[in-house]
Chain A
Amino acid sequence: MAYAAGDNNTDSFGDVISRHLSERLKLLLVYAILIIATVQTIYPLFWMVFGSLKTDADLFNNVWGPPRVMVWQNYIDAWRIADLGARIGNSIIITALSLTVLLIVSSIAAYTLARLQFPGRQAIFLIILATMMIPPEVTVIPLFIVVRTLGILNSRFGLVFVYAGTSMAFSIFLLRGFFMSIPPELEDAALVDGANRLQVFWHIIMPLARPGLATVAIFQGMFFWNEFFLAFIFIRQAELQTIPLGLVNFFYRYSADWTLYFAALSMVTIPVIILYVAMQRWFIEGLTAGAVKS
């Protein structure tokens, strides 16, 4: 609107009107495209919720619309048959433990690399930088052997250490950047007063680095919560399965209970969507900043 080309002084009345119209038309087109993009993004999710409340007949005959009768029983059955309670519990435990290990270990290492001088500092940082770009998928076979040798196959702890280990380089890199942006004068004062490095780190740096820690927590927390590939390789026992594994398992076991699948998928997806919408600014900033910093 503000950037219409041309020199206003010499415009005739007709020109102004037609430009105004074409601006209007352009705006309409922009909205049309954005609305189409939005509908095709969120309609499948509404459709999933609709399907979760339908009867089987309704699902097949009334594909597009909302359910004619609400079948809440789908949720009860899906919860029970898919054993969602146990899967959600596993996902919470594994995500929380992985994040705890990752955040503690990587923040101490990142602080060391950001602030301390010691022989080999540059070499260690370069190794971290190099391994950061290597996704764990390409080393999955040897990783499987390592995990088996350590005797932590089929264990929640095993998966926690695999997650923490394979996300370590990225997390250190990200936090190192945050630590370096904190002015060192603050620590110098505390060091002069006789505090040691760990005290400085815990009492001065960590509170200041909260935005950085939040970014890692959202970015990696999301990743651990949603992760399937590594969990699929390292967890084979049904009672240890996370949500993504449980869904796939459920889906392959009961091949005709479509409305129950819709209900199971809705149950694990709706809380994530609500959390996302409630904290969308945090999510969008955390996920994009996390990615960009890498």
Chain B
Amino acid sequence: MKLVVLLKRLPDLVEDLEVDDSGKALDTEFLKFTLNEFDDYALEEALLLKEATDGELTVIALDGEDVDKMLYTALAKGADKALKIENAGEASGNRGLAGIFAKVVSSLPHDLVLTGVQSAEDIDGQLAPMVAAILDEPCVEVVTQVATADGGVSIHKEYSGGVVAEFEIDTPAVVGIQASRQAPRYAPVSKVRQIQESTTLETVAGSAADTSVFTVVQMTPPETGGGAQMLGNIGELIKVLESKGVI
């Protein structure tokens, strides 16, 4: 089975996010970038699938800070090929990113494209369905398990309230991964370094999507609320409830 995983790097929330002087973008001076957590699950699920089907796994990411390390780590975990998309320009939002990814994926033979169901900058989980729409392939979101079944692919999709449905989908298809069957594996530093010394990342020229994109007008931190009052004991809680007329 030929698998493709789309990886996205995000500003690491370990640093406080600040808006730069333009008022339209994040101040990147102290920003660290890290792999989107859900993409890490997508990679793990793809690795499990690759191992089960003796498949071939390609990871793709847009060029940028810390991307090489991210791709070498994916190779150390077991991906067969890493593609870095260069000169794609700034992807404007997930619509733009989907266009860039879809163009590269369309030139690769693939049975399944996996990516994280969402990311901190794509809370509504639009990347997978948009890539699928551009590729004209079926898409399932909020997936917690992918397995092969009778030549097709069987997928577990999670609904609210703990309900899980099982789907069979025709390939090629795109899935948005909510969680992998097991925790993402660890790539030991020595293995990553070994890969780094023996492998060259493949690059592919990217091109911006020829679709409408948005422009950032202003970026501001969210307004802070009133904060919570910390209560020391049950007596204080009773007083508060009494003062509010609850009891």
Chain A partners chain B: no
Interface residue ranges, B against A (CB under 8 Å): none
